[in-house]
Structure 1
């Protein structure tokens, strides 16, 4: 079997409401669907988050295609090493989601060729059902409470809330509202996206402790690991690394410095599904749990990572996904809105490879939406490029 071409289709899928984080806002999800064709008629499917933009992902795919055309997609290690070393991506350090998508598409091809779901190729099912969190992105406390109640009604066990606003009192009010709306049984996780200095973080997290947080995610810079370790010792809430743990090399440094109680890992930021499995193994050896991070994903990328999560022991906590925000999806009956989850969780698909199919009508619809309004779905809100936010905010 040989790769003959890579096809890429950018799509834009709306959210139920805007996603707001410490430095931006977006109204929907842009992803690039990637299809890897072969001379035997099989096509591997994958998805790349448009991070930092769809244009950069598409450009990355163009640079990768000559390196993989003619290669055997079943020789995944050799193919990725060719991209990393001959293509010089090794020197970029944090790889593009485009490379991860090519790697995932090759795994899909391998699974199709041998007639097995990917979960079996990654060690077999360990978790029959993988939990995911409910992402609450509302701004006003009363709306946050309503979303928390919705999460509980749908059977989710964990809610995730962005903090790091310009007004810390507002963050406290939103966390309090989420606890009220979601109820006492719900696990609460907050993410500041590095928005706080050490002093501000210690002060704010101590104010939030009464709401029984499961994790506070990347509250301070991930570039100063000794200081991050000091924060971890002082806040009294488990610290989840994210921006500090994009790659396996980053994760090893976090472990060495004792900078986190758990690590967020992401196959799209570190070269693919095999490296996701390696990340989990690295953390397992250190006695640390991992959770899957998401840059925003549709059902294709969700299914790809889900196979690895289901086969890996230390994915014990709820993982990040965008079901609470997505108004629709491009797959035929998998992923998408939160109503499609079962009690906040998903089982790995059982068909060969990824085990899912695209809904071609929806792909066409959302590809057209990307062409017409793609700029509206970027990570930044209108007006943000003219501002100059500081990091950290406080």
Structure 2
């Protein structure tokens, strides 16, 4: 008898049933505007943006949806690799396990895709883990916060991503954000040299309200010496955090920078697995930990990472991966559970549309309400998902 059958979950809902089917859909979503980071383009206006949606179904019909964002300019996972990883490795490992057993799923994923230096294939893994959480909440008839027994916030303030390469363009972008109700701003740097990056951030400070929170993200673009010079340039501008200034695996460099930087150093790409955060805490190489659901392989591991940060007194900030509405909802549930009270970078709505979402997250005046309906709180129109699907592997969708 399988281990998962020895202690069945009582109750009538379908989470007690084994997983019967895992389906992947590569969907082409409309791009609202272009978005670039140090590694390259994230979205291009007028060109569809690919997202991988995963549907997990348990015996009896209970189901849930998850999402992964293929982003080669940010990580090493592509649309093709995410689809094949889910279809050929994670799905076979999950089939037959009870849908409620997130711990068993986590261990099965570890066996299917080895961790190596850190977690393996986190984006692909996230899509399946997110779908399992959605399934559990839907089956129980409660939102994730109720399922977890912790929900400290009902809404979160969003940060506006500033675009533009000239002071005039930056001013226009800040004005657009202000008109939409945003009062916090995030600036991507690392593309224009130290002088150009400083001018970009200075222009944001000039056009934003005096008390507006502003933080910067270099996406691993600097060396230690350049990052330290930039930190000293940024400090007089009242920057709240300097996100991922160095390569993710530069442990020694990040410790050196954190010791000398006048601006708090926040880690994103460095923190795939909770164990990564534990290493940086032991080395005293982190001021702020960025919670990011997709980067950390889903909600199961993200909750562990956030709990570790909370216990160790490391400040938490929240970020996304230009998610569509499923990923947006998952992040809101996580950040609300841990009471993140600073503006968060959940910028999907700024750059892409989610036409598959029938009922979804409410965003008004630069604030996002945490969903209060079952599961993630996003109702997916599967017909639209199939209409938007593309064949990234030259296979039949």
The equivalent of 1:161 in structure 2 is 187
Gaps of 5+ in 1: 372-394
Q: 1:159: how far off? A: 0.7
Q: Distance in 2 between matches of 1:303 and 1:208?
A: 32
Q: Distance in 1 between matches of 2:39 and 2:253?
A: 22
Gaps of 5+ in 2: 1-16, 72-76, 393-397
1:11-52 deviation line (CA, Å, top 9, x unaligned): 222333221111211315321011012221122111112142
Q: Distance in 2 between matches of 1:38 and 1:163?
A: 44
Secondary structure in structure 2 of the residue aligned to 1:200: helix
The equivalent of 2:5 in structure 1 is none
What count of residue pairs does the alignment treat as equivalent? 365
Q: 1:260: how far off? A: 2.0
Query: Would you say 1:60 and 2:85 are equivalent positions?
Result: yes
The equivalent of 1:390 in structure 2 is none
The equivalent of 1:30 in structure 2 is 50
Q: 1:361: how far off? A: 6.0
Query: Would you say 1:207 and 2:223 are equivalent positions?
Result: no
Range with greater deviation from structure 2 (123-132 or 2-11): 123-132
The equivalent of 1:185 in structure 2 is 211
Query: Would you say 1:255 and 2:281 are equivalent positions?
Result: yes
- Indicate which of 347, 372, 376 corresponds to 1:350: 372
Q: Is the 8 A contact 1:95 1:270 kept in 2?
A: no
Residues 227-238 of structure 1 mapped to structure 2, 5 A cutoff: 227-238=253-264
Query: Would you say 1:219 and 2:245 are equivalent positions?
Result: yes
The equivalent of 1:320 in structure 2 is 345
The equivalent of 1:391 in structure 2 is none
Secondary structure in structure 1 of the residue aligned to 2:376: coil
What is the TM-score of this pair, normalised by structure 1? Answer: 0.86
Residues 257-296 of structure 1 mapped to structure 2, 5 A cutoff: 257-296=283-322
Query: Would you say 1:367 and 2:394 are equivalent positions?
Result: no
1:125-159 deviation line (CA, Å, top 9, x unaligned): 21121222211233232111111122223222321
Q: Distance in 2 between matches of 1:323 and 1:151?
A: 14
Change (3 A) 1:365 1:144: farther
How much is the aligned-residue C-alpha RMSD, in angstroms? 2.2
1:355-383 deviation line (CA, Å, top 9, x unaligned): 21124565355435x87xxxxxxxxxxxx
Secondary structure in structure 2 of the residue aligned to 1:20: strand
The equivalent of 2:13 in structure 1 is none
Q: 1:210: how far off? A: 2.4
Answer 1 or 2: higher relative contact order, Cα 8 Å, separation at least 6: 1
1:60-110 deviation line (CA, Å, top 9, x unaligned): 11211111112211111112212213x243446323212122112111111
